[in-house]
Structure 1
Amino acid sequence: MTLLDGRIAIVTGAGRGIGRAHALELARQGAKVVVNDFGVSLAGEKEESPADAVVKEIEALGGEAVANGADVADFEQAAAMVQQAIDTFGGLDILVNNAGFVRDRMLVNTAEDEWDAVIRVHLKGHFAPLRHAGAYWRNESKEGRQREARVINTSSGAGLQGSIGQTTYSAAKAGIAGMTLVAAAELGRYGVTVNAIAPVAKTRMTEGAFDTSGMAEPEDNSPVVAWLASVEAGDVTGRVIEIDGGQICLEQGWTHGPKRDAGRRWETAEVGPALRELIAEGADPEPVYGA
């Protein structure tokens, strides 16, 4: 027996890089995998999907997989992708939301269409598959067939600490972290855990943007995803985990810090001194990447 025997997974953006590594590792651990890849360049332009090649790699390992070419940010295509897993393999247990691309710009140079494209593929591209998978799991639970379902979203250090030159990407990845917390709270009653990773890896998205010579490999992230996808991980939900090679870090996120209560509406002149006291008492924020 391996960790994920008999479990059924969807991995989005699984044709290359981190997503491909996730799909292969889930398959090694016994999962049947829907390998999704829309096939786009780093700039979001359509090209041939490599999903079929990953399916062949999984089959060469003795696993079962099927390719899917859905645009995960298209609501109906995302629904059809979830249905493909159900129709092909008999259900769905694991959703790994990974698809994305970058259009990095300094804030004042960002075009409206660049903002829209990045927010769409990352944020809506997480929402649409999760919404349809969640509805399926809710229905299964109500019909007395509750599944031990797992969702692993993909945030980023850019979304958690911020990153110079990545305003749009950082906003999308921060949104994914927030979505993870709420989905974990809402879907827990149906047997679903929802977590996110913030992976560090040498991929198409990082090459050219950073010095990648010392960066971790995509495969370094996938054992954490495989464990979070397991039945064994049922007590872990609503967490964001950063992975950097052999290091895993539990991100703490926003928490309530020092506070003052005036017992009434604040006078404008009082706000500055009170807020400065709170800042002095609180922890210093981590610096934005690249600052």
Structure 2
Amino acid sequence: METLINYFETIPSAHRSLILVGGITFFWLLEGAIPLFNFKYNKWKHSFPNLFFTGTTIVINFLLAFLLLKTADWVQENNFGLINSLPKMPLWLYVFLGVFFLDFFGAYLAHFVEHKVKPLWMVHLVHHTDHKVDTTTANRHHPIESIIRFIFTLLGVFLVGAPIAVVMLYQSCSLVLTQFNHANIKIPKKLDKILSYVIVSPDMHKVHHHNLLPYTDSNYGNIFSIWDRVFGTYMELDREKIVYGVDTFPDEEINSNLKELLKQPFQGYRKPTNI
């Protein structure tokens, strides 16, 4: 465990990039082998806006990374935060709790608030208006949302008291899990169900991308599924019944246009045109 912590404490940028690119590549190939839905689409064309937003997210996180480092250093120096106030524990448990609670603040809470506060929902909408959800959808976040998510993560680091090694480990786990649970892959339902008792599985998260309420407002988690179960936001829907997108923004052509997606947070609700 000490070796793992030492590695993530000084993880090279090249290794972090490898996790990102390697994850996308792996799940991209897996989608071709065991697809959940046989989308009739040009996968490269579909991925363009999603990969663009992945790039903007990387840039924003890189520019603001010093804030994470400063905050993580401060909480350690001052023995501040939740996990630092607990009785002495084994290193593995300390690390696990750090990742566990960072997942709450950086993923579940951020996601929940984005759905409940209308201006934030309009920003987050860009993520939901993908009609062909696959592994590239994972980081389809408007630049404004990338900043919002960063703020929640920063808040988590401060309140949890996570050292930078735990922060880097959390972000790496979060990246791989979001690529996994967005991936257009079909795994046995029983296996998916078993996984969903611990982590956010593909079938569990796909429910969140259904185009109608109340399913859209459910299953907010990213790494651990316990948050949805504890706070009553867990829902199930047969994966064959899932329809991607948002019913108030139904135009797939507009929702695939990068220029339109960049403007989407500043537009009002539209009435569905397919009813």
Q: TM-score range by the shorter chain?
A: under 0.3
Q: Looking at CA atoms only, which structure, 1 or 2, has the larger radius of gyration? A: 1
> Which structure is higher in RCO with an 8 Å CA cutoff and minimum separation 6?
2
Name the one with the larger helix percent. Answer: 2
Name the one with the larger strand percent. Answer: 1
TM-score normalised by length of structure 2: 0.26
